[in-house]
Amino acid sequence: MNKTELRKLCKEKVNNIPPEEFTKWGEKTSDLILKTDDWINSETVFVYVSMKNEIDTSTLLKNALKIGKRLCVPKITGDGTMDAVEIKGLYELKSGKFGIPEPSESCSIIKNDEIDLILLPCLAADEQGNRLGKGGGFYDRFCEKIGCKKIILCPELLLMKSKMIPIEAHDVTADAVATETRIIKARKQA
């Protein structure tokens, strides 16, 4: 199965999941992430702002602000590109391109080498740390030159256990996959 077919299948599956499930999964996944050394030891974290059919990141965003982490979120800057932009509070998020909440224009862009941890959304992931995104390549382009830890947030229901997600040369692999039940250290393929 190629990425296009897999993406279509995953979107159908996701569209049949009630939004409150993503909220519940977000709370459970956040509980696991907040206990990791990666989260605890990171000063600057990059966390996606979740939409209705993604693992809810509101707990992670609020925790980062509460405990004084430097919190960056994505801001789309062009066709397939985005920056990490620091926010001081959730009040700085406004509806942006594609209806995704983004930081206001007054927020500062953060250099990529200042980020300690990146949390990535997905339509699906596998245990090797590969993710299937929505097809725009935003996160692959953003992550390709950043050497920090990367963790995919994926519902257990969309974690591919017996197969790998098809990968291409430009795809970025994560260090771990976090679900609502566990965190899987990625088994890098040879």
Average pLDDT by stretches of 10, the chain with 190 residues: 88 92 96 97 97 94 98 90 95 85 93 97 94 89 92 95 82 94 81
| Residue 156 · residue 42 · CB < 8 Å | no
- What's at 73, amino acid-wise? V
Q: To the nearest 10°, report the CA torsion of 78, 81, 83, 87.
A: 70
Place of tokens 């229901």: 157
Q: What type of residue sits at position 20?
A: E
pTM of the entire predicted model: 0.94
| Tokens 């959730």 belong to residue | 90
Provide the pLDDT for residue 190. Answer: 47
pLDDT number for residue 152:
97
The pLDDT of residue 189: 55
What is the residue whose two structure tokens read 């979740």?
A: 50
